[in-house]
Amino acid sequence: MLAISTASVEQEINPWESAAHRFDEAAELLRLDDGMRKVLRSPAMELQVNFPVALDDGRIEVFTGYRVQHSIARGPAKGGIRFAPDVSLDEVRALAAWMTWKCAVVNIPFGGGKGGVICEPHLLSEGELERITRRYTAEIYEFIGPERDVPAPDVNTNEQTMAWIMDTYSMHQRHTVTAVVTGKPLELGGSRGRPEATGRGCMFVTGEAMKKFGLIPEETRVIIQGFGNVGGMAARLMRQRGFKIIAIVEYDGAVYNPHGLNVEALQEHRLESGSITGFPDAEDVDKDEALLLDCDVLIPAARENVITSANAADIKAKILCEGANGPTTFVADSILAEKKVFIIPDILANAGGVTVSYFEWVQDRQGYF
């Protein structure tokens, strides 16, 4: 293993370096031969597109997008599309590889893929986002399809984004192709339960891990980073099961109540104010310090590289459930292992989403809506 002291910060936080390091460790344990290692370590296809889009003020801006297919050995590539200002090819490579392993872990017939567009969605209008999505789809059109590569929602994309992709792809095909994406609206061939599937999966696997420690929901204190599709849904579902959600962490702050947060009221507060901070039934705390509070379960469900060598030693949770992809760096992994923190890896913890996406894909292929 790469020694903690010799891993540079750049190596540690680079998603592809982290994914490749973990693969090398697993390959060694599995005693894979050199040929198989080379095949599984390298992405099968990488695509970069640069495309112009007209903004609302009349300016033309050129956006960069990526689509990576890591492996199609088990079936069509499967993986989300994210819109974010810090999207990079290395990040998309890593996410595609993790999708390969994730689909294999839950034994569904997909390979791994991922996509992204470099943009700041919070500064773009709905019309601008639609034009970006449709032009990006047109650029990658020849590389996606129900039997080749099936995108899905990810960071800053949703069922509306998938509807635009499906419509654009279908126009090129000259007939409706619902199975080109998953995570669609129900009216366009989506599956019931898909929006909450990832968060529900986190709750289920956490419940299984709790048996190791003799924990029951009513006595289990949970901290969740991320209050969106994964974290927000996990928080709501876990509170309904009796878990005590003591802190929620977002990009702009965190709130804490040692007696448990009213998750539904917090969601309403965020809708009204635009932030979770200032919630009357909780204390505002530093977003970085919140991850280090005493708890039983920590669920990082936002972005990668949240738990690093800089804070891993101060994590107090007994169970760390990786709701996001790659939230723990490979250096932090070794530190947490020494602390006996039970880690539920992302390729299992957040596999609920792709599992229900598979159901949606099958329904669409067979015309069962």
Cβ neighbours for 300, distance < 8 A, ≥ 6 positions apart: 225, 226, 291, 306, 307, 320, 322, 323, 324, 327, 328
Q: Rg of the chain over CA atoms, in angstroms? A: 20
Using an 8 Å Cβ cutoff, are 329 and 308 in contact? yes
Using an 8 Å Cβ cutoff, are 68 and 88 in contact? no
Give the span between the Cα atoms of 243 and 350, in whole angstroms: 19
Out of 78, 102, 114, 244, the active site residue is 114
Task: Return the structure tokens found at 107.
Answer: 């034994």
Region of residue 184 (left: phi > 0; alpha: psi -120 to 50; beta: else): beta
Residue 316 annotated in active site = no
Task: Report, as residue numbers or ranges, the catalytic residues.
Answer: 114
